[in-house]
Amino acid sequence: MIAFEIAVDGQKTCTAGVAHEGVTSVIASWVRRPSLDPTTDEAIPGRFEEELTLDAGGLTRDPDGAAVRLGWLRHPLKVGQQITLTIVETPEADPPRTRDREDPSLAQRRKRQYYERLKRELGEA
């Protein structure tokens, strides 16, 4: 399988990959958002929170068709750190640290709700 071998500052963190069909992704993200007052949930003028993270995750399906979200890595980063991503061919990836299986009946209800909302918005075709 093709997988992503990830290292931060020269230290290997994981090898993330999906054996059969699915998706694997590695994302470095920086977010800056207004700080919120915990009592009112309103933005505090001039105050911000920042988040810098490295994530490795994926999506596959169980034999019954239920979607399964996989997580190998959620790593906080600092300015100056070095991320190395190597594309590798390997017979086996590291097992994911998290595996969240969707509830097929809940997914079906959400699809129905989305469909009904689109019908209202766009009119019946």
Say what the pTM is.
0.76
3-state secondary structure of 105: helix
d(CA 47, CA 60): 39
Which residues constitute the domain of residue 80? 2-122
82 Cβ contact partners less than 8 Å away, ≥ 6 residues apart: 8, 9, 10
Nearest 5°: CA angle at 59, between 94 and 14? 25
pLDDT digits (tens, 9 = 90+) for 15-59: 999 988 999 999 999 999 999 988 998 989 999 999 999 999 999
Number of domains the chain contains: 1
* Structure tokens that stand for 59 in this block: 């999506």
Identity of the residue numbered 73? L
Give the position of tokens 């594309």: 87
